[in-house]
């Protein structure tokens, strides 16, 4: 019989609902797993063992008293350390927030708490979510559970690695230009970037405000739908949250893809892909076709500008958002002779190299004389990408591509070449720029290195139900899925 930490959230919810296990049992099992492999994986910046146990006891007490704590109550969760949590250190993996303990919680964290999910801790990330490998954390590198010499992807690498290694049943991350989907693919788990505005950004430490979106990492598609159900919905504290009543995503899984029109994006599925990624992606498309989907190819020429557009718009917004870290209001302060020197010294000491690079890129593109030439043109190209999506969704219900052009790469392989690192997200940024939805689902191991590959299923804005239906149908038919849940490397 498998241990409790090996179960999916859906399975655990069923066991908790019938009283076969307690929330304390589940939480203790996951914490024991965390303690046994965390030194290898290094997924967590902060572990909140006492808080998790206290929440689990409260859930059990509610059930014992005949109260209903909720359908997923008692299933432990991890949060990327970019969601502020009341009374718990919230760092964004930056030295400038190393000792920051907020007096409030983000809406996403609060909704997880309201759903009865014990908080295991805060996971590692690229500083301020700026990166594709989790090598930019100010504290330490998180390792890929499939091969400890490889990166887990980023920026939400800690959350992806925690779920992949069994240290968390599920976790939250954020996706600005691929930061959920890419690490999900590299770590062999499911990752969802919801429609922009579907999940509140309140209390989510900002990187690029027009792009940032929270979403789940899980072991299967059903769990992803369950967790998105818990955190989605309008929030009066976030002006960009959508004023809609979202459907139950967990109730949208059945129905299959028979008759569904699915387009393979030509610009994301051809040249530049690692051979093993191409092999597994083509096999995944064949599975969808055998399930009854109508497969066609679609050309979206504006996608070739995606990386260029993203790395003008996102740094521009970052340069504005990060201006608040000035040594005056909160976070690190390095004293100087006057406020200008204090501000300069604080930011020099508190920000890492990649954050400084993006601030400078963004400030330059917004500066007088260059705004129209760079930022203004990037916004116009963003509109072209949105229009290409609209045209494609007039012909297809969903679009597909590999999630990442390569499998996980080794530490240090791309740190000296920022452009090569940025290209890690080439398949992901178009959907982010359009504010639409996408999910990464494991589709096997690349034959040349036995590392996970993901298929990205993209949907138009607010069409998560169709996206989940296709992802679930694929997952149920994918033969290799059960062998991928936990890498042997950390199952010793």
| DSSP state letters, 321-390 | HGGG-SSSSSS-----SSHHHHHHHHHHHHS-HHHHHHHHHHHHHHSTTTTIIIIIHHHHHHHHHHHHHH
Question: SS3 letters for 52-71?
Answer: HHHHHHHHHHHHHCCCCCCC
179 catalytic? Reply is: yes
Give the whole-angstrom CA distance, residue 331 versus residue 120.
24
- From CA 393, how far away is CA 283, in angstroms rounded? 23
Whether 165 is catalytic: no
Q: Which of 90, 105, 106, 155 is catalytic?
A: 155
CB 37, CB 166: distance < 8 Å: yes
Based on the residue annotation, tell me whether 377 is a catalytic residue of this protein: no
Q: Is the dihedral of CA 250, 255, 256, 258 positive or negative?
A: negative
CB contact set of 170 (below 8 Å; sequence gap of 6+):
9, 75, 77, 78, 163, 216, 217, 218, 219, 223, 224, 227
Give the Cα separation of 107 and 204 in Å (integer): 8
Round to whole Å and give the CA distance between 4 and 7: 6
User: Is the backbone of residue 178 left (phi > 0), alpha (psi -120 to 50) or beta?
Assistant: left
> Residue 75's closest CA among 157, 163, 140?
163
The residue from 42, 55, 80, 122 that is catalytic is: 80
The torsion angles phi and psi of 411, rounded to 5 degrees, stand at -60, 135
Residue in 165, 179, 302, 424 annotated catalytic = 179
Closest CA to 316 of 180, 176, 162: 176
Catalytic residue numbers read: 80, 155, 179
């Amino acid at each position: 019989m498998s241990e409790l930490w090996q179960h999916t959230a859906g399975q655990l919810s069923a066991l908790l609902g019938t009283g076969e296990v307690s929330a304390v049992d589940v939480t203790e099992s996951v914490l024991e797993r965390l303690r046994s492999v965390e030194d290898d994986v290094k997924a967590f910046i902060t572990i909140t063992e006492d808080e998790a146990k206290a929440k689990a006891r409260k859930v059990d007490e509610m059930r014992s008293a005949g109260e209903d704590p909720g359908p997923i109550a008692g299933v432990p969760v991890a949060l990327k350390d970019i969601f502020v949590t009341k009374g718990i250190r919230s760092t964004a993996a930056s030295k400038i927030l190393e000792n920051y303990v907020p007096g409030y919680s983000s809406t996403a964290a609060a909704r997880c708490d309201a759903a009865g999910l014990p908080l295991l801790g805060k996971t590692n990330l690229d500083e301020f979510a700026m990166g594709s490998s989790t090598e930019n954390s100010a504290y330490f590198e998180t390792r890929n559970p499939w091969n400890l010499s490889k990166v887990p992807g980023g920026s939400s690498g800690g959350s992806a690695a925690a779920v992949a290694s069994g240290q968390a049943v599920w976790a939250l991350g954020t996706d600005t230009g691929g930061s959920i989907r890419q690490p999900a693919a590299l770590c062999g788990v499911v990752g969802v970037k919801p429609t922009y505005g579907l999940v509140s950004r309140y209390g989510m430490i900002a990187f690029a405000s027009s792009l940032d979106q929270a979403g789940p990492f899980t072991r299967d598609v059903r769990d992803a739908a369950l967790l998105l159900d818990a955190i989605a919905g309008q929030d009066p504290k976030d002006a960009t949250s959508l004023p809609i009543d979202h459907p139950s995503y967990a109730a949208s899984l059945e129905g299959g893809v028979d008759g569904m029109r699915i387009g393979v994006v030509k610009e994301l599925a051809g040249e530049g892909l690692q051979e093993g990624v191409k092999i597994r992606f083509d096999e995944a498309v064949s599975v969808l076709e055998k399930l009854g989907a109508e497969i066609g190819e679609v050309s979206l020429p504006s996608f070739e500008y995606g990386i260029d557009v993203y790395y003008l718009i996102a740094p521009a917004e970052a340069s504005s958002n990060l201006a608040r870290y000035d040594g005056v209001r909160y976070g690190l302060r390095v004293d100087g002779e006057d406020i200008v020197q204090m501000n300069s010294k604080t930011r020099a000491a508190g920000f890492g190299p990649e954050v400084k690079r993006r601030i400078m890129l963004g400030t330059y593109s917004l500066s007088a004389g260059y705004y129209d030439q760079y930022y203004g043109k990037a916004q116009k190209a963003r509109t072209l990408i949105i229009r290409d999506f609209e045209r494609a969704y007039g012909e297809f219900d969903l679009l597909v591509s590999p999630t990442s052009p390569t499998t996980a790469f080794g530490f240090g392989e791309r740190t000296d070449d920022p452009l090569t690192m940025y290209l890690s997200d080439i398949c992901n940024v178009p959907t982010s720029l359009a504010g639409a939805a996408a999910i990464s689902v494991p589709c096997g191991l690349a034959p040349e290195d036995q590392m996970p590959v993901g298929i990205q299923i993209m949907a138009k804005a607010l069409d998560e139900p169709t996206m989940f239906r296709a992802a679930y149908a694929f997952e149920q038919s994918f033969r290799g899925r059960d062998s991928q849940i936990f890498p042997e490397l950390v199952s010793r």
